[in-house]
């Protein structure tokens, strides 16, 4: 038994890292992310990675009023910057809700000027086909196909659900579009796939003389069950290709890989690797042209986190399901799949995720037997020199898609000597309620998410920690030191006991069931029900090479907890009860402090009365149009002959700006680490 120490939470933040999964702050809920790489308009010659998505700010339904963008320099994928709401639309007294967008760059061949076309997927009545353009990737953007009154789209506007646009650059002088320099294609549809070539002169209507490709990719009602009308023909498929292999649901996106094209879409997956059918997965098809014909490639990523189960007897899922949306993007020579996850299966607080993939293709055209194969990627596996990752069980089932991990862009493993929120856990199984553990968060000062109510036999996994270190900057990730012999490495768990008796946490390396047990944390029955850091020495991680998973296995009394359905109108987190809540994890060296981040708590007094500040911000409505969850409604009675307002915070670094009281109302701005909350006093 390793010696155990308990420390109260300290007040200053530990080292923070920003490239893990989710790779945006844990309070940010950006689903439907479309990845792009464009030249940085403020640093010519430098490239930035952009993620353009919808924004889950309503909390009682999908998305919000804005198209949200974040970006990072490709040379440092830990430095993600919020570009803000790059587009909103207001008409007739309310704000449109925006669903999954796309953004493309077109370069004028004669002048070299770049124009960016945004396809925001407005859900406003008669405005779904809206298209906008701007001179920078981050806007501003102006609609180009609306009537003069701004209420509906112009005739010829045909783009519908989940638009994806592909720009085909033309370099062949004999091509009819050589002088123009490009062709444009659009793909869209919900449970029904459609595609066409766009008119380059409008970028919102079909090109004259071309045809609409309806029933483009076969859609399914569940895995293998085609939902399109019986007898539907699919000219965009190769002859002999089984329509039931595609399983299109929504979320079209297309990329070029070598001399071929890859169509990515949300599609039903699971039974082919022994799991239930879900649309919480991305699939792909490949062909020789943007309009096909296509062959099915299979699953690209299943956001449920498919892995080998105990003794590799069968495959299991380790995350809750809802839906997902994303695409492929090459950055620094490495291909990634971008997708989103739903905390505890909750579809109105989705988060941006990423995983590396291995793409192999040959020069042979698909028409002559050429292929594109996409699998999971692991830089430390070297099966026949190809770094392929798959999950294969002894029953013969194999999942070949991307691995769901805690790493994000840190594909060589997370630097171990840092604090990480429990919200980056990628493996949750066992117990009585593992799909309910993950709680969402919307506090912009709190880059954290809890796993609440972990029960007996519950397992939480973090894949992976880079105990072997990284000797040089690689693929946009900075070098870091691993755990070396003599470091005196300690594992630190930030947790709150649930008050249901004593319990143990078994710490296992690399395998949740059969991995080496490197430590045990004993928590006594009388442990205080407050957040504390529990520490235990783990010398076994020192001197390891590469990266390794850490699993926490709970052992204690059984606790009966009511089960909630995975699907349904869950309006907010309902924290389950269990042995403990996990807040964070990390490693430290001997003699070094390990400190959990402190979240400043604001106190506001109005005329000597302490006001009650709600835990949750004001949500977006189509009437208020809020694009951020930074405003808090606070109620207090102001006086007629002057008011005294006092503000304070529980931690240093918070600045306040108190507005004037007008008509009994006042706005107070509190800023911490450059992020501002607004308290609206009525």
Give the residue from 369, 399, 429 where a domain finishes: 399
CATH number of 102's domain: 2.115.10.20
Structure confidence by residue, pLDDT tens digits, 129-148: 999 999 999 999 999 999 99
- Together in a domain, 302 and 334: yes
Q: What are the C-alpha distances in Å from 114 to residues 279, 415, 569?
A: 36, 39, 44
The tokens for 265 are 């879409």
Regarding whether 378 and 418 lie in a shared domain, the answer is no
Q: Which of 31, 104, 72 is nearest to 475 (CA)?
A: 72
- Domain assignment present for 640: yes
In a domain, 405, yes or no: no
Asked if 255 and 382 sit in the same domain, the reply is yes
* Per-residue pLDDT tens digits for 82-136: 999 999 999 999 999 999 999 999 999 999 999 999 999 999 999 999 999 999 9
DSSP string, 517-570: EEEEEEE-TT--SS-EEEEEE-GGGTT--S-EEEEEEEEE---------SSS--
In this predicted structure, what is the pLDDT of residue 383? 60
Does 19 fall in a domain?
A: no
Could you tell me if residue 28 is inside a domain?
no
Residue 23 within any structural domain of the chain: no
* Buried b / exposed e along 43-60 (16+ C-beta atoms within 10 A): eeeeebbbbbbbbbbbbe
Mark whether 416 and 388 lie in a shared domain.
no
- Residue 301 sits in the same domain as residue 201: yes
Question: What is the per-residue pLDDT for 564?
Answer: 60
Instruction: Average pLDDT across each block of 10 residues of the chain; the chain has 682 residues. List them in order.
Output: 39 48 98 98 98 98 98 97 98 98 96 97 98 98 98 98 98 95 98 98 98 97 96 96 97 98 98 97 98 98 98 97 98 98 95 98 96 97 80 98 98 98 98 93 97 98 98 97 98 97 98 98 97 98 98 94 56 78 98 93 96 97 97 92 93 96 94 97 92
Q: Is the same domain home to 560 and 461? A: yes
**In a shared domain, residues 475 and 548:** yes
Full residue range of the structural domain in which residue 294 is found: 37-399
pLDDT for the residue 386: 83
How many domains is the chain built from?
A: 3
Say which residue the tokens 């911490």 belong to. 672
Distance, in Å, from the CA atom of 577 to the CA atom of 271, rounded to the nearest integer, reads 33
Q: How many CB atoms lie within 10 A of CB 567?
A: 11
**Same domain, residue pair 615 and 568:** no
Indicate whether 394 and 415 sit together in one domain. no
User: Is-contact 473 53, C-beta < 8 A?
Assistant: no
516 located within any domain:
yes
Final residue in a domain of this structure, among 354, 377, 399: 399
**The whole model's pTM is what?**
0.95
Choosing from 399, 423, 449, the residue where a domain stops is 399
pLDDT at 573: 55
Give 37: exposed, middle or buried? Use CB within 10 Å, 0-12, 13-18, 19+: middle
The CATH number of the domain where 504 resides is what?
A: 2.60.120.260
Q: Are residues 553 and 638 in the same domain?
A: no
Strands 631-634 and 675-681: parallel
3-state SS class at 172: coil
Query: Both 500 and 556 in a single domain?
Result: yes
Q: Are 143 and 162 within one domain?
A: yes
Judged by DSSP in three states, 422 sits in: helix
Instruction: Please indicate, yes or no, if residue 117 is contained in any of the structural domains.
Output: yes
For residue 317, give the nearest of 309, 327, 326, 306 by alpha carbon.
306
147 domain-assigned: yes
């Amino acid at each position: 038994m390793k010696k155990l120490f308990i420390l109260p939470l300290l007040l200053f933040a530990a080292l923070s890292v920003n490239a893990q999964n989710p790779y945006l702050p844990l309070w940010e809920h950006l689903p439907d992310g479309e990845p792009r790489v464009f030249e940085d308009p403020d640093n010519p010659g430098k490239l930035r990675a952009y993620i353009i998505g919808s924004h889950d700010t309503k909390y009682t339904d999908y998305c919000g009023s804005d198209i949200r963008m974040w970006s990072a320099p490709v040379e440092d994928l830990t430095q993600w910057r919020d570009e803000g709401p790059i587009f909103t639309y207001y008409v007739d007294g309310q704000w449109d809700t925006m669903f999954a967008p796309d953004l493309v760059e077109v370069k004028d061949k004669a002048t070299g000027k770049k124009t960016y076309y945004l396809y925001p997927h407005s859900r406003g009545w008669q405005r779904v086909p809206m298209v906008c353009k701007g001179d920078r990737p981050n806007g501003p953007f102006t609609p180009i196909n609306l009537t003069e009154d701004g209420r509906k789209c112009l005739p010829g506007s045909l783009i519908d659900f989940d638009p994806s646009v592909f720009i085909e650059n033309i370099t062949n002088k004999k091509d009819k579009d050589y002088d123009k320099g490009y062709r444009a294609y659009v793909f869209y549809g919900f449970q029904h796939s459609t595609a066409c070539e766009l008119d380059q002169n409008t970028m919102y209507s079909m090109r004259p003389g071309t045809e609409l490709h309806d029933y483009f990719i076969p859609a399914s009602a569940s895995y293998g069950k085609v939902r399109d009308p019986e007898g539907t023909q699919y000219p965009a498929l190769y002859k002999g290709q089984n329509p039931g292999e595609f399983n299109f649901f929504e979320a079209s996106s297309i990329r070029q890989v070598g001399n071929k094209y890859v169509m990515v879409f949300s599609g039903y997956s699971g039974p082919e690797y022994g799991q239930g059918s879900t649309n919480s997965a991305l699939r792909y098809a490949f062909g020789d042209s943007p309009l096909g014909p296509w062959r099915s490639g299979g699953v690209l990523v299943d956001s449920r986190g498919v892995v080998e189960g105990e003794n590799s007897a069968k495959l299991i899922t380790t995350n809750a399901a809802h839906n997902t949306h994303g695409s492929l993007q090459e950055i620094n020579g490495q291909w990634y799949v971008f997708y989103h996850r739903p905390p505890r299966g909750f579809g109105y607080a989705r988060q941006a995720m990423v995983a590396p993939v291995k793409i192999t293709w040959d020069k042979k055209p698909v028409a002559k037997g050429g292929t594109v194969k996409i699998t999971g990627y692991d830089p430390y596996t070297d099966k026949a020199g190809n770094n392929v990752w798959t999950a294969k069980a002894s029953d013969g089932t194999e999942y070949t898609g991307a691995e769901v991990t805690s790493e994000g862009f840190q594909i060589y493993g997370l630097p171990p000597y840092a604090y990480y929120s429990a919200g980056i856990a990628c493996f949750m199984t066992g117990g009585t309620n593992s799909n309910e553990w993950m709680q969402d968060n919307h506090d912009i000062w709190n880059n954290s998410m809890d796993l609440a109510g972990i029960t007996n036999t519950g397992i939480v996994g973090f894949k992976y920690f880079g105990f072997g270190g990284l000797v040089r900057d690689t693929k946009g990730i900075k070098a870091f030191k691993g755990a070396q012999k003599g470091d005196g490495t300690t594992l630190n768990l930030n947790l709150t006991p649930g008050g249901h008796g004593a319990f143990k946490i078994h710490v296992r390396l690399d395998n949740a069931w059969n991995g080496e047990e490197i430590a045990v944390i004993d928590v006594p029955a009388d442990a205080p029900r407050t957040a504390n850091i529990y520490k235990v020495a783990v010398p076994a991680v020192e001197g390891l090479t590469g990266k390794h998973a850490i699993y926490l296995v709970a052992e204690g009394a059984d606790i009966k907890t009511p089960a909630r359905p995975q699907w349904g109108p869950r309006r907010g987190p309902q924290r389950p009860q269990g042995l403990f809540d996990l807040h964070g994890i990390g490693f430290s060296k001997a003699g070094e402090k390990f400190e959990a981040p402190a979240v400043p708590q604001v106190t506001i007094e109005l005329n000597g009365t302490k006001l009650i500040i709600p835990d949750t911000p004001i949500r977006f409505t189509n009437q208020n149009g809020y694009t951020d969850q930074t405003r808090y409604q606070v109620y207090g009675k102001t006086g007629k002959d002057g008011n005294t307002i006092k503000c304070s915070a529980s931690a240093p670094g918070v600045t306040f700006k108190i507005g004037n009281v007008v008509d009994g109302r006042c706005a107070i701005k509190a800023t911490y680490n450059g992020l501002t909350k607004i308290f609206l006093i009525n």
